[in-house]
Amino acid sequence: MKLRKVSAAAATALVLALTATACGGDDGDSGDTGSGSGGGDKIKVGIKYDQPGLGLKEPDGSFSGFDVDVATYVAKELGYEPDQIEFVETKSADRENALARGDVKFIAATYSINDERAKKVDFAGPYLLAHQDLLVKSDSDITEATDLNDKNLCSVVGSTSAQNVHDDFAPKANLKELSGYSECISGLQAGSVDALTTDDSILAGFAAQEQYKGKFKLTGLKLSNENYGIGVKKGDTETVNKINAALEKMVSDKSWQKAVDDNLGPAGYKNEPAPKIGNIVK
């Protein structure tokens, strides 16, 4: 009788231990790039929430945009269905930290590849070549970057766009760094900002929104080349290689061009040809 009680207690302890182990495994696997077929496994992907045409959280909680389509395609190739993807907002200033902390498995968020960022994260891609441009009011007389001297130029915290214009074209420009592009757009509309600078793909997405149609225009300046990469935690070469393979497939099966046309075409955006995947041009 005593032996039976001891066995029951041992069995109970074993069940509890196995349960705790299973729960711990679920937490640890949330960002795995495995097959995605193991029950409730999910993958966390960093995107922007406030970039129409690229990464936007819709009022109903869904997500839209070119980066969202690219991320969904890549996740599918990594073994995850759309309902297994958890999109996490990653603002420009926090992208490197989000990857280092393991908050997300990869980031597709208009993430331009440059030397400084490549010291902290690894990049797959590039998957889009954009160009820095200016967005101004439709009646603005700003046509060149040098016109920004003594004017208010807006971009977001963590972006290099405004600093590039200041350093290379308009050293007397007044730089305003706000937390998101929506705030810059509001300032542009209100007149507290004279121009918003970032990539033409991002600007085209905003200009195409129904509430802004006819109010803003792109100056058409190609102030820089911006190669968008998919950010991955430093040292995770396996994931970089898998993502590169997924991007190559996306280009070859025409899904890439369809995503560009569906999301940016309505703004009249003329995309460059798909970059050579794995050719990290900074």
- Average pLDDT, integer, range 219-227: 90
Candidates 157, 29, 14, 149; CA nearest to 95 is 157
Structure tokens at 250: 């996306």
Q: Give the whole-angstrom CA distance, residue 136 versus residue 140.
A: 6
pLDDT of residue 205: 84
- Average pLDDT, integer, range 210-215: 84
Would strands 195-199 and 152-156 be described as parallel, antiparallel, or unpaired?
A: parallel
| Cβ pair 113, 232 in contact under 8 A | no
Task: Tell me: pLDDT of 208 over 70.
Answer: yes
Position 33 confidence tier, pLDDT thresholds 50, 70, 90: very low
Task: State which H helix or E strand residue 24 sits in.
Answer: helix 2-28
| Cβ pair 110, 48 in contact under 8 A | yes
Q: Give the whole-angstrom CA distance, residue 175 versus residue 157.
A: 11
Task: Tell me: pLDDT of 24 over 90.
Answer: no
pLDDT in tens, 136-155: 999 999 999 999 999 999 98
Q: Give the whole-angstrom CA distance, residue 105 versus residue 30.
A: 9
- Average pLDDT, integer, range 117-128: 97
pLDDT in tens, 37-74: 434 599 999 999 988 999 999 999 999 999 999 999 99
Residue 267 contacts by C-beta under 8 Å, 6 or more apart in sequence? 53, 204, 205, 207, 208
- Average pLDDT, integer, range 1-14: 42
Task: Tell me: pLDDT of 4 over 60.
Answer: no
pLDDT of residue 34: 41
Task: Tell me: pLDDT of 182 over 90.
Answer: no
**Packing angle of the helix pair 237-252, 66-77 (nearest 10 deg):** 110
